[in-house]
Structures are given as structure tokens and as C-alpha cells.
A and B are shown apart, each in its own frame.
Chain A
């Protein structure tokens, strides 16, 4: 207590205070037990986030520290002989590099990883107090150059990488606590320091090591690693403008190489750190977070670091895309089967959709949105042709531009969703639904207006095409499908919900298929008419008319025709993709119905009767879709009726059952052949005379996804056979006492299609 009293005297807190302890106790004793006295404006909810004195989970003062940790001194030289000093500095720098990986890969906090290093805290405290851009305030001052120059460089470099991650984090694509913890304890992480300053600091250290410590081999490698690691900051799109282009490919390759080289060194004995890594920062510095144990390296950090850099290199490769479809396909697949490293996920959208309102510095947002339309349904439509010759000021054009902006907003959401964690991604699709839905309503009105002015496209059957509405509808259906199916991936649905969810996804896929067919019909008609034009020209006599037509034909062949051909390929691929989802969903519906036919499952919530009802629970599940205009959500009754239609009943139970299971098998074998065609499309893209699936930059990832679907298809076929053999041919009452229905996930299968399998009931 004397220590505290002395401190209070120093702070002049020992005088002028009146002890009110007993008065407070007296006042409290007069309070009604269940009451709380508080400021009227204070919400007790805030109080739930408070820390608490002497609560081991909430009081960071309780963190236990060893003598060594308490006495650790950043201004002291550790080690007597050069060899010992090198060993110490190497161990600290090595651990520091590993803490980056512990921080990012295991979703740990900064205070338990990078900031657990006393040198980091020391240097950042200095910088926070005196933020000198030339790093002159960041000193160790031990009097030994190995510490003051080399170790300081390394600490600064690691902090600079933290700054890079902080910058990504601030862009708001990944989420605090879920994806990443960026709590820097209020320290300023080198905000004003420029990359070249850090690089030259490191370069001085490299020179020093070469000259005076040639034996410090591992330390030299670590410096090399850090040199490349700080260069990663240069990948930030905001940075491009201010410096000459860095060779990113080279930097990242070197980084991977050096990480791999460092894998060979074993973790040193923990005593070598002398207390340089500890919970001191949590205990001694301002801290509004609960205490947490510091995280120890496991030895696999450099492998993980190399993996992180590979993911980063991979997402950067999107800038090689030649069409918008390729970028969209990249976004669809890059983070799908295997979630990418959080740094790559955070970097991707930031790099793609830049602060300067461009996509990859190649297209403005409006151009990009227009290309999205053109590479689907818009090319060679009446509005498309009209806009080509329309002046900027025309009303039609202005309105079209307005829509492009709205579309950009929705696309922005769609692209962001692609790089989020799986839970956020499902919610992202949910949010998009209303966006696409209202956009569709607006664009439809616009297109109807255009039609009334005679700007209209018709399909062969005479119905109107409405290319813009069609595209929005297509995007909306895809988001709806992803939202529904992602629920299976995240284990959100119980077995009894499988029927409703798969029947609905089948329903959506049917709408999507129809939409794609309409687009294909339109594109084929445009292609045919252009070909027909050539024939027409040949029949014409030479003259002005012929020349005019020939001109139009040439222009069409050179500009629209290649786009139409490409679009046709992509739509055909999309139709295959859609049919796979459709039939797999249908197969799930069939298998559910078979299980129901044997009394093993029902689509009603088994326990909902007491406080709710099956219908109400169903409506809650479909709440999002109930507000969507098109396609209309089928009524609860339709869901029930359609299940009845699938369920097999007497008479002729056996025959109907066999027919149902056979049909299922035939359909599933069709899926397998569709998937083979998709594989061909994807593989053909690498040779690329012309891209069909647009997946050339994500070939591996796309193949992985479709191979997963293939495995799920096989698993469904086998499951059908198992059901057949286990259940027999006749409806029996004892089956539900023998079996329960559970969910099974196929090894390497598509996460959208878990199976309903029979489990032997436990006695």
C-alpha cells in the first residue's frame, strides 16, 4: 500500500479528498434492494459491456507476470558476447514474424500477439507520443547497433505490415472480432511513415549485418522476409498513384520463397526471449478489453505465411481478366470452396472496386455496369443501338445513366458479398434480394415506357424481351438461390426443412432456366438475322442500298457478333450450371418424399404446436421471400400440396416407389453428363480461342466446385440405392422405430447439398 500512497502523493491525490465510504454505505442500505440509481440518460445496456474489478475474466490487472517479464527492459542489451546477442535478436525477430501469423490466421488479438512484444509496444508508444515520419522518435537506445539499428528496423517493419492490414480493415469489408481483431490499444501504428522510409531503414540494417555480422545467417533471412513484407503495402490501390509501379509478382514470389526457406529453423527454447513477449501491455497500458493469454507459436507459422501470400497473389491475378464475365466468374469462385486468407479477402474488393470509382483502374463504374448488361442480354438490342447514336443530353440516355448508377450500387454489394466469411456472405445475399427486387420494378417501368415509344425487342414467340429487366431478374434469382442454398452449407436447416428449401430452390432454378432460355433465344435470333443479312446482301443488285447494308453487316460482324457469340457460349454454360442445381434440388425433394412415404419424416416442425404452428414457422423461414415481387412465393398450401404430390401412397405403392426411385436415378445421371460438359467448357477456356465459362483465371477453383457437385450427385445416387435396400418395397410401421433421419455431408461434396440419410436408432 505504501507504493500506492507514495504515488498518490506524487499525483497530489492525497489531499482535498473527503472520505464518503460510510456515507455511501448508509445511502445504499436505504435503497430498495431491486433498484439501481443512475443518470437518467444512461442506458443500463451499456453497463453490460463494462469490465469488472477482481473478476478474473474481466480484470486485466489480475494477469500474472513472471519476474523476468516484469523486469524486461527495452533499453538494455541482452547477451554478453556477439554470438549471444545475435541469438537473442534473431529469436525475438523470428518470434515477431510468427506473431503476425498467429494474429491473422488464428483470429487472435493484437495485444496477445504482435503487441505482446515489448519492443513493439516500446517503439509504438514513442511514435504515438511523437509521430515523426522520419522514424527519429522510434529508438531503442541500448547503445548496441545490433539492437538500435537491426532490431529496431525489424520491429518497425512488422508494425508497417500491421499498418497495411489496418488499412484493409478500415475499408470495412471484413468484420472486427469475426474476421480480424485490429485493436492496437490506442497506439498510432506509424500512420505518417512512408514506405521508402521503412525500406531504407531496413536496407541500412541489411548492410550492417553483411558487414559486421556475416555469421547471422537466419537474421539476414528474416530481414529479407521483412523487406518484402513491407513492400506488400505498395499493393494498396491508393498507393499506386504516389509511386512508380512495384513489381508485385516479384515481391510476392520472393516473400513466398523466403517464408519457405525459414521453415527449416526450429522454434528456439522459450527462455531465450528473456521476457520480451508477455502480457505486460495488457496489464500496464490503457486497456478497455478483457485480459487474454498471449499466444505461443507452434512452429508452422512460415508455412502459413507462405499460404497467405499465395492467396494474396491469387486475388491480384484478377487484373488479367479480359472481360467483365471473367471478373464476375472470378468473384463467384475465388472464395467459394476453400475460404481464402482474411487478408486476401479484405484486399480483393478494395483492389477491384477502387476509391477512384473505377474497377481495376480499367473501367469506370458506369462502364462496368453497362458491360455487365452487354455481356448478357443487352448487346444488339434496340435500346443498345439507339444509345450508340444518341447525344449525351437525350432523356433516354440520361435515364439509362441513372440506372447504371443504381446497378453499380447493387453490383458493388454483390462483389463485396463474394469475399465475406460464409455467414456474412449468406446475409449479404439476403440483403441483396430487396435491392435487386426494387431495381427490377424500376427498370421494368422504364422499359415499358421505352416500349410505348417503340423501342422494343421481341422474342420469336412475339413476347417482349426487356433486356435490362431480364438481367436484373437473373441477378436476383441467383442471389435468391445462393441465399437458400447457403443455408444448407451453414447447417441452418433441420432435416424436416429439407423438403421446403429444396423444393423452393428447384422452383427458383426453374425460373432461372426459363430466363436463360429467353436470353439464348434472343441472342440466337440476333445472330441468325445477321447471317441472314449477308444472304440478303448477296441477292441484292449492286447499288447504294446494297452498299449501305454491306456497311451495316460489316459493322455488326466486327462489333456485336463476337460479343453475341461469347454471350451465347456463356448462356449455354449457365444453362448447364442451372440444370445441375435444379435437378439436384429435385432429387433431394424426391428422397425426402420417399422418407415421408415410409413415415420417417415430415415437413412440419415437430415441436412447434405448443407456442406456434407449423404454418407460422414456415412463414418465418420464408419471410424474406414473401416480400419479393417476382417470382411470387408459393403459398403454404402449395408447399403442402406439392409434397403430397411427391409422396407415394397405396395402391401400387411398390410400383410407384420403384418408378420414383428409377426416375431419380435417370435424372441424376443427366446431371453427371451436364457436369462433364461444364468440365469441358472450363478446360477449353485454358486453350482459349474464346472463353465459354469465363473461368480461366479461377480454373482450379471452378473445377473444384463442380467436382464437388459431381461427388454430391454420386452420393445422392448411392443414397437412393441405400434407401431402396433399407426401406424395402412396402410401407411398414416398424421403420420409424428402427431408423431416424439425419444429415450427412459428402466428403469433398458440394456444401449446398447435404444428404438425408437413415440412421439406426440407438436402443
Chain B
């Protein structure tokens, strides 16, 4: 009797111990394997969805440039990048809006390192409509009335066009989820700081999704980076107000600052960049890094492109 219980106990303990050992060891194993295989420094890079393709392209190209460091990129939105910066879990945060002073202060307090700001390129926010929409240009004032709270424009007819592919004539507003830098920038560009977006827009999760949905939906209007354009959508020419000329979103107009909704793209390093992080940032700002900016449909920094 006693013997049997003893065996059962031992058996149970062995099973439990195996469980613990397996659970406890597997992550450690992975880590040590990763360490021995790549003695590289890993730069953690996170944030803006607008910039995630760009950051990915940089990271890929960088594997050919550097043998001592590699870059790990993830998206999630500018807000996610800033949160990671505040928690000190990234080396570089991507941000399609400027980080607020309160957030910078919080990051400095939490991590003891003051984030440093770098402008790494420019992005023009294009206003997209379905490619069959009989509309070619729009003013910021009209956009504000479409997207803003208590706005007066809700039908295509209000814009003075007859949209035969949209039987309900209702403008379907496509927007972004509220932790996106694009959302904040577009709201500020249209409505300033005193007015909010009207509720009832479709808040999608990514720059690419917006263009995709607009491309399938004749009634829709949306905003996203100009690099995301496809053949199913049309980019509108935009004027700052009814009296100003209209400009299409392109390289020249962004550099000449005539296109009204263009913004800088930021990278924030945690503290003064040192070592591999500094080498990486310098490379991004070099002619080679800026070439990739242009290739992805963004606008490179002026000084380097000339």
C-alpha cells in the first residue's frame, strides 16, 4: 500500500517537474540560441503604422549595410510607439506626429533618458475617393465640413457633384483609429484644436486598409499617406481654402510646401543616440537611406534630395 502511494507521488512529481522544466526552459533556450547565432546588436523600432512599411524597408536594406546590428520593426500606431518610448522598451520610436511635451517629460522621468527627435522624411496625406467618383478637387474648408462635428456636408450633392455610382448619395467617411498619428494630424490640419471629428465614421486599423476600403466603395472618402495609392482610388487635389489654388499631392508640392496637408515623419531615440543606434540613424539620414524614403512614396528630406 505504502509502496504504491510512493510510486504515484514520485510519478506525479516527475510529471509536474517536467512541466515546470519545459515551461521554464523553453524561452531561455530561445534566447540563448538567438544570442549565439547572431552576436548582433538588435535595434528595437516601433510605432507609426504610416511609417511601418518605410521602417521595414530600411531595416531590410540595413541587413546589407551592417553586419553588427539588425533592426526589429513593429507597427501599432504612433501612440503605441510613444507608449513604448515612455516605458523604455524601444530604442527608436516612429511617430507620424510630433510627440507632445508632456509625453517627452514622462519618458524622461520614467527612463532617465530624454528622447531625441529626428525628422526622417515627409508624408503628404492624400484625400482618397473611389476612382469612379466625379470629383477631382476639394478644399480644406469642405473637408472640415465633411469630417467635423456639426459639419454641413453629408451628401455628395452638397459638394456640387452628381455621384451616379452612389445611390444613397451619402458620403461614407473613412477615418482611422484614435491612436494613429494620421488621425491626430488630419484632425488638427482640418479642424484645428477646438473642434472634433464627427462620430459615425468607419475607423479602420491601418493606412493600407483605408485605401483598400475606399477602392471598393464608391460612396466613400478617406485619408491616408500618398504612398498607399492604388489604381482603384483617386487622389484629390487640395486647396487650403476656396480662394487658394488646388495642388495635387506630389513630391514637388510637398517640398515647395504648397500642398496643404503634408507633415514631417519623426523618429525618436531614447536618449542621445549612441553606438549602433546612432550609426543606424545616420544611415537613415544619408543619401542612401533617403533614397528608400522616395521609393516608398514618401518625400525625402530637402537637403539630401538636392
Does B associate with A? no
